[in-house]
Each structure stands twice: as structure tokens, then as C-alpha cells.
Structure 1
């Protein structure tokens, strides 16, 4: 029987609530604290709905990873005027992306908490969180046309992602890193200026 009207809306609301609860628990307790019974209890539902709607806990975690509450969309990273990207030099394009990534995750403290837990755990559930971040980055770099072929883009991307993510995680528990105040916007402005300096140096404008 096809669900219509209130029944369909009720299902969507329950699915949304289950996804929301997964994010809350992951942020607070990490992956080891996550279980079907705990999710169902906090959501106020029978655990059978986790299996009925998603197939199981890994699939529910995967569904959460696809939400913008967890990870910024390509549209968010591109900003309000994505066409302006074509006017930037390779270094400016790269810096634009990583500064957008930095700002987007700073707006998501729960995501930073989850990344912290993810670094300390490695299991089937943590692997569900890897697809969307990787895909979003690939989608961004696929639209770039000016990156020089004599530069190892993959290596630069891995290093930048690692450095920025590490700083974001440290900022949840540590105020100063290398003398830079991560509790102050001036400190983050210094980080962004550093991103500009590094990437414009690696990918200089030869035009």
C-alpha cells in the first residue's frame, strides 16, 4: 500500500527525527556510544523503525552524513557568486575553497566534535562518514580549469584538509596553537591569511 497524505508526512518526520538524534549522540558520545536502542529511546520510537526506514544503524549514520547539518554542500562552499571563481588565479581558487571549508565547519561545532571522535575510532560506522566529504571536495575541484598539471594537487589537498581539520579539532579543547588565539576571530583571520599565503605560493599566477 502506498503511503499518502499524513502517513507519508509522519514517516518523513520520524526519519528526520532519527537522523537528528544520530547527530546528537555522535557529537556527545562518539561512535562507541551509538546504538539502535539508544537512538530509538532518545527519539521516542520503537527500534524497529530504524530497520524499517533505513535498514540498520550503518545506513542511518550514512543518511546523517548526507545532511547539511553535518557537511556543507558544494553550493555553500561556492558561495553566493560561484561564477566569480573563474576570474581567480589557481592559488586564489584553492584558497577560496579551503577558507570556505574552514568557515563552514566553524559554523558546525557538532561536526567538529564528530570528527574528533572519528579520529579516535575506526569501525563500520566511521567509514559511513567518509563518502560525502570526499565527494564534495572532488565536485569542487572538478570545476576548476586552471590548476597547473605540474603541481601535485592531490598531495596539496590532503595536506590542507589535514591541517585545517586538525586546527578545528584543537579549537574545541585548546585556545592557543603556536601562539594563535583560536577563541578570537583575529586568530582565525591569521589562519585564513596563512591559507592565502601558502596556496598562492604553491600555485602562483603566471598570467
Structure 2
């Protein structure tokens, strides 16, 4: 596996070196390099020099095309603005959405699956928690708005039970999903619950369903 990873990286580096340049092409290469670096190294290893090395370009081009690191982060945010639409389909998956609880259960399970499959988004979530800045906040706001928009489009005439603070409950559910996924990456468990095997995650999914149903019926 390690040798395969090295080979894949060498092929990717060679592909970057042979890719036609020009502003549009170079911007794409830089953006792809930045996203790849962020997914692998996290925000602590995310810097102009490291991105330039990975992209195979002069770091001055990052300043010229993106205005520096903040501009590049904004570009990543714009590129990821469609993440919810790309990863959380607007279909019922064969499930009859008869209640708001049905809908929220569907969203919770889809979000869990999408986040587990996306190392870059996991890194961005870590970044949001670890650093308070306007740029990082915009990344978080864009994803949260997309999730809310998905819920509103899918909801139709469904409504939550009276007396339930929907925003607070849904925030707790989403936060729990994010923390469990990040804990799986860092330690493989949380609060004594293993987060490694398929069976482990089936238990998490069952628990999510019970929590959602306990609130929404």
C-alpha cells in the first residue's frame, strides 16, 4: 500500500509538471495542489511555499492569481460550495418521507456517509474548530447554509412537532456527526465507542436514528 501511494504521488507530480500552463491552467493546478495539501497535512502544514512546491510553480504566481493565502482559501471555499449538492443527493433513496423525522434521519445518515468519505472536508471542519478567522468562518457558513437549503427544498409540507427547537436540535445532530467522524480519524474511538469497523458505524447509525426519532417521532 505504501509503495502504491508513492507511485500514485509520483504520477500525480509528473502529471502536474507536464500539464499545459497559462493562467487558467496554472490556477487549476494551484487550486488542486492546495486542496490536496489541506486534505493530507491539515491547516498546520498549509502554506504558500508548500503549495507552490506541490503545484510545481513559483510562489509569486499564488500571490498574482489569488492575492495570497487568504485569497486561495476563498477560492477553495467557492470550489467546495457545491459540496452538499455533490455529496448529498436530493432523493429519498427509496425511503418514504412521511414525517420531518424521516427527512432528518435521511439527512443525518447521508451527511455521516459523505463526511466519512471526504478527507478534505474533514480537514476543513478541524480548521473551523481550531481557528477563528473571517475566512474560515465563511467556509463553515457556506456549508451550513447549503445543508439548510437542502433541508428546506426536501421538506415540502413536512413540519417538526410543535415545541421542538429545530435549529438547536439539528445543530446538535450535525455537531455529533462531525465530532464522531473526526474522532474516528484521530483515535478510532470516542467515549468508549469504537469507530473503525463497519459494525461500529452501523451502531452509530442506529444511535443517530434513535436520537432523531426520540425528538421528531
Candidates 82, 101, 107, aligned match of 2:111: 101
Deviations 1:51-83 (A, max 9, x none): 333333222112213335x9733253125x359
Q: Which runs of 5+ in 1 are unaligned?
A: 1-7
Q: Do the aligned residues in 2 keep the contact of 1:118 with 1:126 (CA within 8 Å)? A: yes
Give the match's secondary structure for 1:150: coil
Q: Which runs of 5+ in 2 are unaligned?
A: 1-19
Deviations 1:159-201 (A, max 9, x none): 0111111111110122233443211011111111111111122
**Alpha-carbon separation, structure 1, partners of 2:193 and 2:92:** 31
TM-score (norm 1): 0.80
Q: Is the aligned partner of 1:182 residue 2:174? A: no
Q: Do the aligned residues in 2 keep the contact of 1:58 with 1:128 (CA within 8 Å)? A: no
Please state which structure has a larger fraction of its residues in helix: 2
TM-score (norm 2): 0.76
User: Could you say what the CA RMSD is over the residues aligned between the two structures, in angstroms?
Assistant: 2.7
Determine the structure 2 residue equivalent to 1:113. 123
1:130-145 equivalence runs, <5 A? 130-143=140-153, 144-145=155-156
Higher RCO structure, 1 or 2 (CA under 8 Å, sep 6+): 1
Determine the structure 2 residue equivalent to 1:155. 168
Count, aligned residues: 195
Cα separation, partners in 2 of 1:36 and 1:175, compared to 1, 3 Å = closer
